Structure 1
Amino acid sequence: MTQEPHGGKYFPAPIGDDDRARVRASNADREEANAFLSAAMSVGALSPEEYTERAGTALAATTLAELDALCADLPMNRLGAAVAEGSLGPTRVSASGAAPVSRAVAIMSSSEISGGAVVGAELTAFTVMGGVEIDLREVEFTAPVLTISCRAIMGGIRIVVPSDITVEVHGSGIMGGFSGKAAGPGRPGAPRVVIKGLALMGGVETQRAARGENTGPRRPN
C-alpha cells in the first residue's frame, strides 16, 4: 500500500492504486484533501467554480482513491507553501470570555447574528417562513474553520462575510435557491467559512462585503 507522509495525514497519491481504492476515507482525510484543493484555488490552478465542485465531491468521498482522483492534476510541488499558510491555529477562548453563539432560529419571525458576537467552530441557522441574518464582518472568530449548517424552509437566510476570508458553499436547493457565488479564496491565514445545508422553497444567500459597507435592505420580519 502507498505510504502516506506527514505523520499519517492524507497526501494525494497517483491514481490507479487498488489498495487505496479499498481504504475508506476519514473526516480528517477529507479535510486534508480539501486543504490541497483550497490551496490550488488560492494559486489560480483551480477556478472558484472548479474548487466548489471538487470540494463538494470530496465531502462525499468514501475512499482514498476518490480523493486522489480529485487531486491528480494539481501542481503539488507548488501547493506546499499555500497549504501551510492556510493552516490556522487551534480553537481559542474568546478574548471577552463570552461563549460562542451556536444557533440562529427564526420561525415566522426574524433572527440576527452580527456586531461583536463570538462564533466558534459550528453555527446552525434554521428558519421556517422567517428570516435569518448572519453578518460575520465584525464577529470574533475563535476557531480556524466556522461551519454554518443552514436549513431554510419557505424562508430566507442571508450570510454576509468579510471580503478577505475563504468561503466554501456546499448547499443545495429544492424549489429554492442556495447561492454559491460568494465562494472563493481569502488572504493567507484568514478564517475559513464553510456553508452547507438545504433550502426548501426558500433561499440561502451568501455575499461578500467590506467592513462598514451597506449590504442593502434586511429581510422583513
Structure 2
Amino acid sequence: MRWRTVSDTRRPGAIAAGALAVALILSGCSDDGPGGREEPGAVSPAALKNCGKVFGERNVEALRADLGKDFQPHDRSLGEMKERMLVEAQLWNPATDKLARTSFHPCQIEGRADGKEAWVIATVGWSKYGVAFMTEGKHAREFREVAKGVYLDLRQGTDGARTLVMPCAVPGTRAGQGENLPLQVSLTDTDRTARTVSTDQLLKALAESTRELLGCAEKVTVPEKPLS
C-alpha cells in the first residue's frame, strides 16, 4: 500500500521552488518495509513503531484494544515528513505567500467497531491561518485559544477532523514564520465506539510529538483536554 502527501487545493499558488516540486514527484513511501510486503491482515512492526512515535506507544496499544483483531496501522517516514516540512517553511515568503501547503499523514490506523469500519488518522502541515487571522476580526470567533499559543478550530472538517493551530518557528526561515505560517495538526477519529484512549489524548500526543520532531522554537503547552 502506498501513501502520498495531499495538497490542499483550496490554498492559492504553487510550490515556490522547482527543487521541492521534484522532491514531491520523485519520492514515494510504502509501508511494505525493507523485508517486502506484509501478509494480508498482519500488523506491520514498522508501522506499529512509527505510530507509537506519533501517538505514544501506550496510546497505540489502547487503540489496538479498542479496534480489535482488525487493527491495522499504516505510516509514512517521519524523517521524510520532517525534511519536506522544513523545506516548505524555508521556502515560505511572506511577501507573496505562494507556498502550496502540503498535508502529511504520519499515522493512519484502521479497524472495526460494532461491524463498522473505524479510522484514526493523523494529519500534519503548515496552516494557511496566521495567528492574527485567528485572533482578530470576524474570523476570531471561529477559533478558541485553549492554552497560550494553542488555537482550536471550532469548525469540524467534513470527515469530523478536529484541528489545533500553533506557532512553530523552525531554523532557516524568514522573520515571522512561526506566527504567520504556524503548525496545524488534525485528528480524524471516526466510528470508534470503545474509548480506552480519548480523542483529546491522541490530539495532544500528535501535537507534542510533531512539535518535538520539527524542533519548534516556542514553548507551548498543549492542554490535557484541547477539545473541551
Q: Give TM-score, length-normalised by structure 2.
A: 0.30
Q: Which has the higher helix share?
A: 2
Q: Give TM-score, length-normalised by structure 1.
A: 0.30
Higher relative contact order (CA 8 A, sep 6+): 2
Q: Which has the higher strand share?
A: 1
